[in-house]
Amino acid sequence: MTDLTCKLLIIGAGPGGYVCAIRAGQLGIDTVIVDPEPPGGTCLNVGCIPSKALIHAAEEFHRVATAAQGPLGITAGAPAIDLARTTGWKDGIVGRLTGGVATLLKRAKVRHVTGRATLRDGKSAVVATADGPLRIEAETIVIATGSAPVEVPSLPFGGSVISSTGALALTEVPRRLAVVGGGYIGLELGTAFAKLGSSVTVVEAAARILPQYDAELTRPVSARLEALGVRVLTGAKAEGLGAAGGLRVWTTDGHDEIAADRVLVTVGRRPVTAGFGLESLDLAMDGPFLRVDERCRTSMRGVYAIGDVTGEPMLAHRAMAQGEMVAGLVAGERLGWDRRAIPSVCFTDPEIVSVGLSPEAARAAGETVEVASFPLAANGRALTTGREDGFVRVVARAGDHLVLGLQAVGAGLSELAAAFALVLENALVLEDVAGTIHAHPTEGEALHEACLRALGRGLHL
């Protein structure tokens, strides 16, 4: 067995792992990163990036297909989609980005080992590589193993039942698609396939879709789904495949079978804590997640954990921030984790972006708040794009006007996430945002107007 030593060993090359490795390399730390797949993890290879590529392709197709119905005076012939070609384009983007990450790791002098690691203790692991087993000894270990789709016992993946990974690998548009789960993954992909021509039915066990967001934010999404012809069943439970091959569901009206050529199961993700020898470390857990402190330290000295394996929110940018911080800590920097301003974006149509506290969460925390919204129907830029559905909302403390939360729903409003995060990260008050000149005409003006309304001096409504 070959031996390798290093100062820092990272298990998992997803967003958290590879960012941790690059930053560690920049700081002069001898680093090894291990993953059986190309660098980038779920997000880059089979998640965030390829799904957004599909969403974009679907939007472009839908725009051409419905152009003649709109008010712009544009006419076009009936479009066609070659999904195999679209998938090839999407895979090309993934290849460029994974290759770019590999180059960045090499530039930072990080040693990248392709293989499956098994931890032996808090200082070593054995990696099964194509050339045989490799034993790696390290002073510090970072666990960044990410998450995987949750499988429904009555709908195991295989055949017509697919996960989000399977949906992104399709080379033909399914004529009928049933989506189990009305969360962000199911609705992002379900909406995309509806725009590509699929007859889509969404089955959600909760009383409404996107239950992690408040009803005011999700109302425009529900209206858009209806306009796209997507059937949504709430308070419904998927029970498996029916005799005819469709999806068998239970609703308050009784049992039914939804005709479907594909059944997309998107009921959530689970942390990957098995298959790499974690039991040998006997680390403290928080339910299914690894327990970490404000510096991402586990219960074992010299072992850190970052990203989805450490709990909610399971977001790539959270993992990246944790990875960068841990690299600094290993280098001797004094850093801590502040999770107050982590943007959450749902790439549905319209998009939802949220940072900080919602009105309900702020009140539940004992705050007396001022809440104000500005509708995109009164925003010039939104009107010129033909998408006036949605709004921007601000939640501020009544006493000192400290901004506690910002939310928005609208086409393309995910790009406001950075501005929202900056407002909260820098503890700005309503007067700070209201006193900042916002470019006209842009949809970002809605943030300015919402803050002006919260101060009782709105201008354009």
In degrees rounded to 5, what are phi and psi of residue 274?
-120, 155
Q: Tell me how crowded residue 107 is: count the other CB atoms within 10 A of its CB.
A: 11
Mean pLDDT of 235-245: 93
Mark whether 440 is an active-site residue: yes
Q: What does each C-alpha distance from 437 to 174, 374, 400, 404, 440 come to in angstroms?
A: 47, 17, 22, 21, 9
3-class secondary-structure state, position 22: helix
Place of tokens 């590999």: 102
Catalytic-role residue among 438, 440, 448, 460: 440
Q: Is it the case that residue 371 has pLDDT exceeding 80?
A: yes
Round to whole Å and give the CA distance between 314 and 184.
12
pLDDT band at 340 (very low <50, low <70, confident <90, very high): confident
User: DSSP E strands: which ranges in 266-380?
Assistant: 269-271, 285-286, 289-290, 303-305, 344-346, 351-356, 369-375
Round to whole Å and give the CA distance between 99 and 414.
26
Q: What is the mean pLDDT of the chain?
A: 96
153-182 exposure pattern, b = at least 16 Cβ within 10 A, e = fewer = eebeeeebbbbbbbbbebeebbebbbbbbb
- What is the radius of gyration, based on Cα positions, of the chain? 24
Using one digit for the tens of pLDDT, what is the confidence trace for 182-219? Answer: 999 999 999 999 999 999 999 999 999 999 999 999 99
**Neighbour-count burial of 271, counting CB atoms closer than 10 A to its CB (0-12 exposed, 13-18 middle, 19+ buried):** buried
Residue type, 260: A
Using one digit for the tens of pLDDT, what is the confidence trace for 372-392? Answer: 999 999 999 999 999 999 999
Using one digit for the tens of pLDDT, what is the confidence trace for 400-410? Answer: 999 999 999 99
Contacts for 452 with CB less than 8 Å, ≥ 6 apart? 434, 458, 459
pLDDT band at 1 (very low <50, low <70, confident <90, very high): low
Mean pLDDT of 395-399: 97
Using one digit for the tens of pLDDT, what is the confidence trace for 90-140? Answer: 999 999 999 999 999 999 999 999 999 999 999 999 999 999 999 999 999
In degrees rounded to 5, what are phi and psi of residue 413?
-75, 0
Round to whole Å and give the CA distance between 335 and 353.
28
Q: Is it the case that residue 339 has pLDDT exceeding 80?
A: no
Using one digit for the tens of pLDDT, what is the confidence trace for 7-23? Answer: 999 999 999 999 999 99
12-37 exposure pattern, b = at least 16 Cβ within 10 A, e = fewer = bbbbbbbbbbbbbbbbebbbbbbbeb
Q: Is it the case that residue 275 has pLDDT exceeding 90?
A: yes
Q: What pLDDT sits at residue 253? A: 87
Percent of the chain residues topping a pLDDT of 70: 100
Round to whole Å and give the CA distance between 435 and 129.
58
Round to whole Å and give the CA distance between 141 and 7.
9
Q: Is it the case that residue 252 has pLDDT exceeding 90?
A: no
Q: Which helix (H) or strand (E) holds 111?
A: strand 111-114
Q: What pLDDT sits at residue 326? A: 98
Domains of the chain are: 2-149+270-330 (3.50.50.60), 161-267 (3.50.50.60), 344-454 (3.30.390.30)
Q: What pLDDT sits at residue 349? A: 97
Q: What pLDDT sits at residue 93? A: 97
Round to whole Å and give the CA distance between 250 and 53.
34
Q: What pLDDT sits at residue 338? A: 79
Q: What pLDDT sits at residue 29? A: 98
Using one digit for the tens of pLDDT, what is the confidence trace for 164-173? Answer: 999 999 999 9
Q: What pLDDT sits at residue 242? A: 93
3-class secondary-structure state, position 140: strand
Residue 28 DSSP one-character state: T
